[in-house]
Structure 1
Amino acid sequence: MSTFVKIKALKPSLSSSEAKLADFTLSSGAKIRSLSSVELARQAGVSQSSVVKFAQKLGYKGFPAFKLAVIDDLNLQAGQPEPAHSHITHADSIDLIAQKLLTHQQGVLSETNKLNDVEQFEAAISAIKSAKRILLCAVGGSFTMAQDFALKLQKLGLPAIAQTDELSAASYIATMGKDDLLIAISDSGQSKSVLRVARQAKNNNCPILCLSRYGVNPLHDMASINLYNVTGEEPVRHASMLTRVSQSYLIDVLFVALTQSNLRWQKRAERANEHMYDIRHS
């Protein structure tokens, strides 16, 4: 998992000292190659203990492991072109807006891919395959993703439904247990209604697959399996365009992998598409 991507994902939740280390790493990562933890602390203007805590927050045992991960990221970036400046302004033409938005989306897709390991996808696919019933729970913009995912799973013949109404979701989850699966989608991981449903699922020993932003949040802590979406700087505030791009990528990877893993499911998806075509054009 990319260290730089993890740092970007965690930036909104970092303390002032951690934010200084994050900014230094992202802007001057090459300098870390030759720095000790004491020297990094001095250059970033923080204490040495802050450096160690920062490394541990990113999932590393200490500074040496963090330093090696940064070096690996720098080596991967070598030779790759720098992304073009893509802030959208009021003066931009429609063509330029389209080009800049494409740059944003490509960056989010790349970072989402780097943020999620194969093992995480495999665990999610295994949980979906073995679930007798699947409830997808989300609110706001994330609910459109839940609906889309439920429809895709239904095409494979899997017993999945999406619920945005908390009372309906709570009623359904009350009958679910260890052989079922709750898929909770929340960018922040703090949506109160989704958390309440997740707590009920956890009390029932029902496994939880969570799609949320990387970092510590209540939903992440309750989940059995976590996939991480990327939260980029949105071109329009509160539009969640880039978040949906990231969530959609995760959902599509799972759907394609599920479809390709089972010939019977492939045929079901084909029949479902044919049936929907007939309804639309008859």
Structure 2
Amino acid sequence: MSTFVKIKALKPSLSSSEAKLADFTLNSGAKIRSLSSVELARQAGVSQSSVVKFAQKLGYKGFPAFKLAVIDDLNLLTVQPETTLTQITHTDPIHSIALKLLSHQQGILHETHKLNDAEQFEQAIVALKSARKILLCAVGGSFTMAQDFALKLQKIGLPAIAQTDELSAASYIATMGKDDLLIAISDSGQSKAVLRVARQAKNNHCSILSLSRYGSNPLNELACIKLFNVIGEEPVKHASILTRTSQSYLIDVLFTGLTQSNLRWQKRADKANEHVYDIRHS
């Protein structure tokens, strides 16, 4: 998992000392190759203990492991340089908006890929395959993604339902237990309605798969399986364009992995598409 991507994902939740270390790593990462933890602390203007805590927050045992991960990322960038993203402005003509948005979405897709490893996807697919019931819960813009995923799962015959109404979701959760799966989608990981349903699912011993931002948040703490979406700087405030791009990638990887793992499910998806085509063109 890319260290630079993890740092970008965590930036909104970092303390002032951690933010200084994050900026130093992202902007002057090459310098870290030759620095000790004491020297990094001095150059970033923080204490040495802050350096150690920052490394641990990123999932490393200490500074040496963090330093090696940064070097690995730097080596990768020499082979695959990062694309510089240009902000969309109100003076841009529509063809420039289209090209810039495409560039931003491609960047979000690459970061989402780097933030999630194969083992996380495999755990999620196993949970989906073995679930007796599947409930997808989300609110706001994330509900469109939950509904899309539920329809995809229904196409291959999996017992999935999406609920945006908390009371309906709570009623359904009451019928679920240890053999069932809740998929909770919240880009912040702090949606009160989603968290209440997730806590009820936890009390009923359901498995919980979260699709949320990377890092520590209440939803990730409840989940036994976690996939991470990327929160990018949106071209239009509160539109969740790039968040949906990231969430859609996670959902499509899971759905494609499911269908490719079972020939019968591939045939079911084909048959469902044929029925939809007949309805639309009859």
Query: For the superposition of Structure 1 and Structure 2, which TM-score range results when normalised by the shorter chain?
Result: over 0.9
Mapping 1:111-150, distance limit 5 Å = 111-150=111-150
**Aligned amino acid, residue 194 of structure 2:** V
Deviation of residue 111 (structure 1)?
A: 0.2
User: Structure 1, unaligned stretches of length 5 or more?
Assistant: none
Find runs of 4+ consecutive structure 1 residues off by over 6 angstroms: none
Query: Partner residue of 1:5?
Result: 5
Q: Which amino acid aligns with 2:241?
A: M
Correspondence 1:170 to 2:161: no
How far is the alpha carbon of 1:85 from its aligned partner? 3.8
Displacement of 1:13 in angstroms is 0.1
CA distance in 2, matches of 1:85, 1:174: 46
Counterparts of 1:79 and 1:195 in 2: how far apart (Å)?
41
SS at match of 2:46: coil
The alignment partner of 2:183 has SS state of strand
| Pairwise CA distance, 1:262 | 0.2
Aligned AA for 2:238? H
Kindly provide the CA deviation profile for residues 148-195 of structure 1, in whole angstroms up to 9, marking residues without a partner as x.
000000000000000000000000001100000000000000000000
Deviations 1:117-170 (A, max 9, x none): 100000000000000000000000000000000000000000000000000000
User: Sequence identity, in percent?
Assistant: 84
Counterpart for residue 73 of structure 1: 73
Counterpart of 1:238?
238
| Aligned-partner SS, 1:78 | helix
Cα deviation for residue 90 of structure 1 reads 1.1
- Which residue of structure 1 aligns with residue 39 of structure 2? 39
Provide the TM-score with structure 1 as the length reference: 0.99
* 8 Å CA contact 2:85, 2:103 repeated in 1: no
Residues 187-244 of structure 1: per-residue CA shift (max 9 Å, x gap): 0000000000000000000000000000110000000100000000000111100000
The aligned counterpart of 2:193 is: 193
Aligned residues between the structures? 282
Gaps of at least 5 residues in structure 2 are none
- The corresponding residue for 1:214 is 214
What's 1:58 paired with? 58
Paired residue type of 1:145: M
CA contact (8 A) 2:198 2:219 kept: yes
Structure 1 partner of 2:204 = 204
Residues 69-122 of structure 1: per-residue CA shift (max 9 Å, x gap)? 000000000043442341011111100011100110000000000000100000
Give the Cα–Cα distance (whole angstroms) in 1 for the partners of residues 66 and 87 of structure 2: 31
